[in-house]
Structure 1
Amino acid sequence: MAIFKLHHITKYEYDRLVKESINEIKIFPYQCAQQEIVQQEVMITGNPAIQTFIDYWGNKSGSFNLLQPHSELVIESRLVIRTTSSTQLSIDFHSGFDDLLRDVDGQINLLELSSPERIVAQDEIEKIIQSIYAPNKSVAAVVEGCCEYIYKYFKYKKGITTTETTIDEILDHQSGVCQDFAHLMLQILRTMKIPSRYVSGYICPIKNGMRGEGATHAWVDVWIPNYGWAGIDPTNNIWVTNRHIKLAVGRNFVDCTPIKGTFKGPALQKLSVYVSIGYEDGQIFEDMNDVDMETQQPTTDQIPDYLAGQQQQQ
């Protein structure tokens, strides 16, 4: 077990007053046996009431409306969490695709998570599958091979993709960040009819060469026969143990966006995200990102709703 203290601040700054900022947040840890919330405090500019609910994928979500005019919106989460997963996993490396078919049969949720997106470069996905799949391999072995392939052949590079980058573009770039690698892995696995879901959260090792550490992170949950959901991280080519903290799951990033919403007013906005992780030995890892927001200025006779921003996971 390990205990972490996380401080996550999302700050929107507007070049003029805006109003009626309506937002949805997914910054509450996912409820599962692998992690336990010790304490969490969420603070928002203007102290609006937060209405919480469980969404379609089982994520605890919140919504709020900041009606009064404001030039800044700060959403702050202070979290103490205990991870309970063992560092020694007992994933079943014997169950094959026949076992998987029996698991998926009649399970609508698993079937939904087994369908790939429609993309132009599906032939490239099929080529990747040819290099990692064999009829005698277990499901877990194929998943592990997929993870290793992405880690080996796709370069980790910030700044060339956004939250709207498509799988076709990721294949073209041959590089990206964690959410890109997660989306690519989902397409590969779902093409093989392996149920898999996108996971957003944090990664908490400290300065040991892990990519994306100390920041919002993304990886993949995969359904393994005779085991259940198992997390795997293609950014770092590892199975997930007690160093990953899960916030939300879904079909893709859109289902797990930490913060999204709209506001009224002809304003341009700036988004910055700060994350710090405190460890049991007192060490603190900090990460600060300014996110490029390509919001266009509306005409003066319009008062449209604007997307309040989406945090890209690194």
Structure 2
Amino acid sequence: MRYTIAHRTRYHYPMPVHESHTICHLQPRSDISQYCTRYELSVSPRTRVFSYADRFGNDVQHFAILPEHGALEIVARSQVVTARGDGAAPPPLPRELIDDDPNRDDMWDYLHESRYVRFSAELDALATHVGVPKHGDDAVAWFQHASSTLHDEFEYDTTTTTVHATVEESVRMRSGVCQDFAHVLIALCRRAGIPARYISGYIHSGSGEMLGAEASHAWAEAYLGPRGWVGIDPTNDTWIGDQFVRVATGRDYRDVSPVRGVYSGASSSVMSVDVAVEALSYEQQQQQQ
């Protein structure tokens, strides 16, 4: 599938601010499953934008606006081709093949706690409820089961958590948004000794009702040994297919937040975000070729 994506972020300050410094994770990645054919980032007030690749291989933009300004607008426009297929479940995999995988030694970041993925008594209780895959168990089936448990027993609610919510808080409230669902699933995987990482991106809802399609989306990937990194979206309880667009990869939300920055001046700001993901028709694709 080919998608066009427009992601607009606006900040309004009650009083002028100055010396603002911002970093953005808004550029879709190009890899074996998708290709970003076009990307542009515009900033108002106008300023020079710099790019670099972070330690996780994400494309990051950063900029500074030193003069006083009462508002900041960041618009990212991209076009992406995905080639993941329909999102079918991978074949079964015995748990021990993950433990014996030679790449496991390189997975320290994805096996231990991180800023928002912490182990706790609340997580222990949830893990007992979900179960832990043992020698001989199908790790793929367990990953699906863990996702389904969160989807069925947690409520998608945009009012109960903030972007700084921890796994402990999300489990206690049994609710949250896609970021929280992903964090909890990642925590369950890491607690079970399965490497897991956080993926930020977008989802195209199409004709169906997909939760989280109105803004940036997030899901989890688990490293399943010879199967490699396998993604599932616990918010919608679906394997990652062509309707998903990957932007950035990290240990948790802290590593890949779409826009983050600091400034001098007013102590508060009002932020608004608009995201539009549109699938191009065959005719539109032909016109662009």
TM-score (norm 2): 0.91
More helix per residue: 2
Q: Which residue of structure 1 lines up, in the alignment, with residue 237 of structure 2?
A: 237
Q: Which residue of structure 2 lines up, in the alignment, with residue 114 of structure 1?
A: 111
- Indicate the SS of the match to 2:101: helix
Runs of at least 4 residues off by over 3 Å: 132-136
- Indicate the SS of the match to 2:185: helix
- Indicate the SS of the match to 2:219: strand
**CA deviation after TM superposition for structure 1 residue 127, in Å:** 1.5
CA contact (8 A) 1:214 1:275 kept: yes
**CA deviation after TM superposition for structure 1 residue 46, in Å:** 2.7
Q: Which residue of structure 2 lines up, in the alignment, with residue 145 of structure 1?
A: 145
Distance 2:151 2:89 in 1: 23
Q: Which residue of structure 1 lines up, in the alignment, with residue 41 of structure 2?
A: 42
Distance 2:111 2:178 in 1: 21
Distance 1:12 1:173 in 2: 29
- Output the amino acid matched with 2:111: S
**CA deviation after TM superposition for structure 1 residue 274, in Å:** 0.6
CA contact (8 A) 2:197 2:250 kept: yes
Distance 2:218 2:198 in 1: 7
- Output the amino acid matched with 1:6: I
Q: Which residue of structure 2 lines up, in the alignment, with residue 228 of structure 1?
A: 228
Shift in alpha-carbon separation, 1:34–1:214, aligned structure 2, 3 A: farther
- Output the amino acid matched with 1:7: A
Structure 1 residues 239-258: aligned runs within 5 Å: 239-258=239-258
- Indicate the SS of the match to 1:197: strand
Distance 1:15 1:92 in 2: 55
What is the CA RMSD across the aligned residues, in angstroms?
A: 1.8
**CA deviation after TM superposition for structure 1 residue 122, in Å:** 3.6
Distance 2:250 2:224 in 1: 17
- Indicate the SS of the match to 1:107: helix
For structure 1, the 5+ residue unaligned runs are: 283-314
**CA deviation after TM superposition for structure 1 residue 120, in Å:** 4.0
Q: Which residue of structure 1 lines up, in the alignment, with residue 64 of structure 2?
A: 65
Distance 1:90 1:133 in 2: 17
For structure 2, the 5+ residue unaligned runs are: 283-289
Distance 1:60 1:207 in 2: 31
Q: Which residue of structure 1 lines up, in the alignment, with residue 17 of structure 2?
A: 18
- Output the amino acid matched with 2:168: D
Distance 2:90 2:40 in 1: 35
CA contact (8 A) 1:194 1:222 kept: yes
| 1:124 equivalenced with 2:125 (yes/no) | yes
CA contact (8 A) 1:83 1:242 kept: yes
- Indicate the SS of the match to 1:22: strand
Q: Which residue of structure 2 lines up, in the alignment, with residue 265 of structure 1?
A: 265
CA contact (8 A) 1:206 1:213 kept: no
**CA deviation after TM superposition for structure 1 residue 265, in Å:** 0.8
Q: Which residue of structure 1 lines up, in the alignment, with residue 158 of structure 2?
A: 158
Deviations 1:34-77 (A, max 9, x none): 11112111100132222211111111111111111110100001
Distance 2:89 2:154 in 1: 28
- Output the amino acid matched with 1:259: V
Deviations 1:187-241 (A, max 9, x none): 1010111111001110012241211124210000111122211110000111101
Identity %: 26
Deviations 1:7-28 (A, max 9, x none): 1100000111111110111001
- Indicate the SS of the match to 1:13: strand
Q: Which residue of structure 1 lines up, in the alignment, with residue 286 of structure 2?
A: none
Distance 2:192 2:64 in 1: 42
Structure 1 residues 200-239: aligned runs within 5 Å: 200-239=200-239
Q: What count of residue pairs does the alignment treat as equivalent?
A: 278
Distance 2:102 2:250 in 1: 17
| 1:198 equivalenced with 2:198 (yes/no) | yes
Shift in alpha-carbon separation, 1:42–1:56, aligned structure 2, 3 A: same
- Indicate the SS of the match to 1:15: strand
Deviations 1:98-151 (A, max 9, x none): 21112256622x132012423242431331342x63543221111111111111
- Output the amino acid matched with 2:125: E
Distance 2:148 2:123 in 1: 20
